[in-house]
Structure 1
Amino acid sequence: MRQIPLFPLDTANISSIDALVTAVVDARRQIAALQAREAKLMAEAVDLAIARMERRPAQRSTGRDLPLREIAAELGAATRVPDRTVQVRMGEATSLVERFPATLARFEAGDLDSGHVRVIVEAGRVIDDADVRAEYESRVLDAASSESPNRLRSLARASSRSARMSARCCSPARRPRTARATRSPRSPATCTSRCRCSPSPGSATSRRC
Structure 2
Amino acid sequence: MAPLPSLLSFLFPILLSLSPTLSTNSEGNALHALRSRLSDPTNVLQSWDPTLVNPCTWFHITCDSNNHVIRLDLGNSNISGSLGPELGQLKHLKFLELYRNNIGGKIPKELGNLKNLISMDLYSNRFEGGIPKSFAKLKSLRFLRLNDNKLTGPIPRKLATLSGLKVFDVSDNDLCGTIPVDGPFGSFPMESFKNNRLNGPELQGLVSYDFGC
Does the TM-score normalized on the shorter chain lie above 0.5? no
Question: Larger Cα Rg: Structure 1 or Structure 2?
Answer: 1
Which protein is richer in helix relative to its size?
1
| Greater RCO (Cα-Cα under 8 Å, separation 6 or more) | 1
TM-score range, shorter chain: under 0.3
Normalized against structure 2, the TM-score is what?
Answer: 0.24
Normalized against structure 1, the TM-score is what?
Answer: 0.24
Which protein is richer in strand relative to its size?
2
